[in-house]
Amino acid sequence: MKFGVFDHIDDAGVPLGQLYADRLTVAEAYDRAGFYGYHVAEHHSTPLGAAASPSLIFAALAHRTRTLRFGPMVYLLPFYHPLRLIEEVCMLDQISGGRFQLGVGRGVSLYETQAYGLDFNETQAMYHEAYQVLLKGLDAEELTFEGQYYRFQNVPMILKPVQRPHPPLWYGVTLPGSADWPAQNGINIVALGLRDNTTAIVECYREARAKAGLDPDGTLIGISRHVVVADTDEEAMRIARRAYPRWRESFRWLFARHGSEPRVIGIYPPTFDELMALDNAIAGSPETVRRFLEEERAASKLNYFAPWLAFGDLTLSETLRSIELLSKEVMPAFAE
């Protein structure tokens, strides 16, 4: 089982410049600790996500890390001009020496979509077109495409990615019914939700791979949870109980501003104790966290675990200690 990290780069109650600087320091720690990948969410007009332009974070990461793979989870394709995104992906893959991971999606927030002047009812169709343009442009000498939203005629594709025909693709999955398409197209996934749901997602994904005659373990099949590791269970819980409510407040903020709640708010209850009771998080000593991951792997047969390790108002020192303990005392137990 490989280990990665999922991160919103959410508001931590510190100046924005410090937030970015701390996350780059944390990414260096992921790199030294041997994590496989670092996946950053894209959000707009909300304290849930300060990486509104993920490519900028990735350009900095490329020079601060050596082996860590990284990419968006996900680029919101309707928010970009496809040609500009093709060029950015090529640049990032070249700058990093072929470590870029290309996560793609539509975007699930009506309010973020509206802020960009987009019609939420059209963004699904826009996403499908943009996805076709993106993959075609990354592997073409000239880009020609005729669609409803995007049109290109013999546009020279001067920039190329290191990884051909394109960097590895990633997709976020929250429903079992959405697992077939990435499974059949060789796209790695990270699943979110309660354990029954994520287990069903992984099962559907593996079944779709098998039915298509593909290796069920030929891609990375991941799950994400909030995780805090400390020297003792008591210390870890003290930290998690303080940090998680701030993350949840950021998660709800934009929806609350419009008098509503996120669709999945039920899987993120008000307290960390409640979150743990749902098996949607763990805070504890290395031994406690190791037992939780053994149960997670036994339940879902995942081969990739990409937890939140920096969230809410976790301090830099708390996060670095969590990374150290996880990498030295937990991850080796899952090395194949």
The type of residue at 272 is F
pLDDT above 90 for 336: no
Domain 2-334 part of CATH 1.20.1110.10 = no
pLDDT for the residue numbered 136: 98
Q: φ and ψ at 228, to 5 degrees?
A: -130, 125
What lies within 8 Å, CB to CB, of 130 at 6+ separation is: 77, 78, 80, 82, 85, 149, 150
pTM: 0.97
At 46-99, the pLDDT tens digits run 999 999 999 999 999 999 999 999 999 999 999 999 999 999 999 999 999 999
pLDDT for the residue numbered 77: 98
pLDDT for the residue numbered 134: 98
Q: Over range 216-245, report the average pLDDT.
A: 97
On whether the CB atoms of residues 57 and 64 are closer than 8 A, the answer is no
pLDDT above 80 for 264: yes
pLDDT for the residue numbered 57: 97
Q: Over range 129-145, report the average pLDDT.
A: 98
Q: Cα–Cα distance between 49 and 5 in angstroms, integer?
A: 15
Q: Over range 186-214, report the average pLDDT.
A: 96
Q: How confident is the model at residue 105 (pLDDT cuts 50, 70, 90)?
A: very high
Q: Cα–Cα distance between 336 and 303 in angstroms, integer?
A: 10
Q: Over range 95-116, report the average pLDDT.
A: 96
Average pLDDT score, the chain: 97
**In the chain, alpha helices (H):** 16-33, 54-64, 82-95, 110-115, 123-138, 180-184, 195-211, 233-257, 272-277, 286-300, 316-329
Taking the mean position of all CA atoms in its chain, how far away is CA 141? 30
Q: How far apart are the first and last CA of the chain?
A: 7
Task: Write the DSSP string, 32-69.
Answer: HHT-SEEEE----SSTT-S-SSHHHHHHHHHHH-SS-E
Cα–Cα–Cα angle for 317, 242, 19, rounded to 5 degrees: 45
pLDDT above 90 for 322: yes
